[in-house]
Structure 1
């Protein structure tokens, strides 16, 4: 089944390579284009160093637009932060929160973005207050639905109700596929074992996750098994991750405009062993979703203690998987090849 769902990449996926100076902005955009993933998503602080404190660098913005045009790509989303701890002695006042969001709306508009990603911690009242300005700028503000939250969580329901009450089309959701963690990621388990979790405890935690055992019971049992330090930390991951239902996106599809294709590992067989992308894509197709799925590789932090991450290869593998699931006639590589090959 061929659909109009599009493929993109969050440049956050290349954080190791960009931080180490191995890839510059052109390298990142060119790589995405070569993989047929024309949608480009950024975190402003990563791609535009000095943002937001220094402000907009006109030369860097000009370079951005030149590269987007050169590689025939599409700006998708600027993922912004709103730091509530900016002041040591008091929370950021409401008006300043709204002003901060408006600043990122301006930045997104300057970059040609259709969307800006809001952190899930931002109160709905702040986003509703910024919505009219977003409408003027042709921007939609999408709050990220990120584990441990999900579409049935009271905080997300509160946002959904506020968005509907506002009547604004400038407010929506960006689901992160990490909330559909159906299996304990192998790269997590391997890292915990390397830092000292006994094999029997690690195996218990993995099985407990598969059996959907309540996290508090798992933590208690690990303590009783003699687990300390890293073993408790491994058990604690169950508090922040769960196998929520992809089909719950259907109720909110009219406000879902971008998707984070979170993944922790792609095997050589083009499988993400912990997240059911076949089911996710079916749900998105059922809901008539036509936006981007942007690769978001976060397995790097789980392996960099013992080997250098190859983020480009990992993103390539996910893009191959997505192309196949979306029914595309070719799959990406750095030299496009036929699916039949």
Structure 2
């Protein structure tokens, strides 16, 4: 399989270890680069103090760490706080200023891609196109479950951003919208917290058959569902299956991939997200960016098991190396 797909890691994957002070920023970069995943995606609010006014000494240390470990910056994850002081929403101009600020931070950190959080109004993104072009930093909206490429919000984004004619605005698909099977770590957590085994099994089966969440909720209520059962059923509304082939139409505007995963099991497989199908589509479409690991299983196991983000990221890159045909 011929391709130009590269491997990377979002430092979001190490959030648990970073929060508990088990890993420093340098540790995160070293671990990712040691796996051959040299493209680093950073969340400045997680990795630097004083954001958005990051001390120059920390910026210098960031670049020194990247160079030391043979890694390089790829993507900056931005967040748009739509409320100000909890009493009003940001004005349009304030949202534009927030996104422009993040574009400048991305440039300062050497990232040529900015992940735009999905709740960012497309009109705000359009207003920032001139600065993105000036800084040569591409903005990609995160197409994140339960959104997908045919969702009205994403269609509106497509309509407005394509009209700019700019090649500095596009998409960052999150692979969580290709959840083909109900994640076992979700099921097991719900069972530990009081889900009814028979109802949990019904929910998993309903997900396999793509039952609409509202109908599923009606069914489990008739089965005598408790609050935990209902919460489990509700997760099927957010975790969706959308055919990965839909990316092909949008591939010229896809800059980066959030390689979401909930677990890589001992057999080396992500049991809910079919990466064999996904990588085949990316190769077919000529994707040339990074598969950026985004481990999100920690929140579903931390009640009962020791979280090891490093091992999970390692397993995903063993999987990626095999699927990408690396020697």
TM-score normalized with structure 2 length: 0.99
C-alpha displacement of 1:56: 2.0
Asked whether the equivalents of residues 113 and 140 of structure 2 are also in contact (C-alpha less than 8 Å), the reply is: yes
Residue 76 of structure 1 corresponds to which residue in structure 2? Answer: 74
List alignment gaps of at least 5 residues for structure 2.
none
1:184-263 equivalence runs, <5 A: 184-263=182-261
Q: Residue 117 of structure 1 contacts residue 144 of structure 1 at CA under 8 Å; is this kept in 2?
A: yes
Q: Residue 334 of structure 1 aligns with which residue?
A: none
With normalisation by structure 1, the TM-score equals 0.95
The answer to which of 86-95 and 261-270 deviates more is 86-95
- Quote how far apart the aligned CAs of 1:2 are: 4.2
In structure 1, what is the Cα distance between the partners aligned to 2:237 and 2:101?
34
How far the C-alpha of 1:89 sits from its partner, in A, is 2.4
Q: Which residue of 2 is the match for residue 33 of structure 1?
A: 33
CA distance in 2, matches of 1:215, 1:238: 6
The residue number in structure 2 matching 1:128 is 126
Aligned residue number for residue 4 of structure 1: 4
Q: Any idea what SS the aligned residue of 2:211 has?
A: coil
Aligned to 2:44: 44
Q: Distance in 1 between matches of 2:238 and 2:4?
A: 33
> Following superposition of structure 1 onto structure 2, how do residues 119-198 of structure 1 map, counting pairs within 5 Å?
119-198=117-196
Confirm or deny: 8 A CA contact 1:2 1:328 kept in the other structure: no
Instruction: Flag as ranges the 4+ runs of structure 1 deviating above 3 A.
Output: none
User: 1:23 matched to which residue of 2?
Assistant: 23
Deviation at 1:312, TM superposition (A): 0.4
Q: How many residues align?
A: 327
Q: CA deviation at 1:87?
A: 3.5
- CA–CA distance in 2 between the matches of 1:174 and 1:105? 16
Unaligned runs of 5+ in 1: 330-341
- CA positional deviation for 1:318: 0.3
Tell me which residue corresponds to 1:14.
Answer: 14
Find the residue that maps to 2:88 and give its secondary structure: coil
What is the deviation of 1:245? 0.8
Please state how far the C-alpha of 1:49 moved relative to its aligned partner.
3.0
Q: Distance in 2 between matches of 1:219 and 1:200?
A: 14
1:171-210 Cα distance to aligned partner (Å, 9 max, x none): 1100000000000000000000000001101000000000
